[in-house]
Amino acid sequence: MIMRPGHQLLLPANPLFIWGSLLATLAFSMLQNMGLWGRAAWIPDVLALILVFWSIHQPQRVGIGVAFVFGLLIDVHQGAMLGQHAMAYTVLSFLAIAIHRRLLWFTVPSQAFQVLPLFAASHAIELAVRMISGSAFPSLWILLAPVIESLLWPVFSVILLLPQRRTPNPDANRPL
């Protein structure tokens, strides 16, 4: 594969790190729902953000099936309609995998702008399922969640790619 100028060659992602980050984010999402804000409409869905990140960077390991299972776990935890988050995460993962080759050619800020429609579609699916099932409209603050998730994209990209940027055998004569 031809690399862009100034782009660093990354090491393979450690599967333990991938699954550890997903499970830690699942635990954080569960704690966040029980925490200070509860289920406020403007709170970003960090699990969706991490699922999109790994679906883009490691589509062979984290795909639609993983997104579906994590969605079911969130549905059970929140007591939401079973399949609401599962369907949203599945569509989100499918769209991320569909654009992953093109998206990786852009800079991280440009990637954040391009994943914004994915997050908006995910929240729209969740909202549509809620409205069809007879729940009340949360508020217009729900429009803020995809924007916050998109703004968090560069932060999580840097953090989750840090273990892949290290050199396997550091050496003063080898700048890789």
- How many helices (DSSP H) and strands (DSSP E) are in the chain? 6, 0
The answer to whether the beta carbons of residues 82 and 72 sit under 8 Å apart is yes
**Residue 138 DSSP symbol:** -
Instruction: Give mean pLDDT, residues 25-49.
Output: 84
Question: Rounded to whole angstroms, how far apart are CA atoms 31 and 144?
Answer: 21
pTM of the model: 0.87
Instruction: Report pLDDT for 164.
Output: 80
Predicted confidence (pLDDT) at residue 139 exceeds the cutoff of 90: no
- Per-residue pLDDT tens digits for 62-116: 999 999 999 999 999 888 788 899 999 999 999 999 999 899 889 889 999 999 9
Q: Kindly list the domain boundaries of the chain, sorted by start residue.
A: 15-161
Compute how many other C-beta atoms are within 10 angstroms of the C-beta atom of residue 117. 14
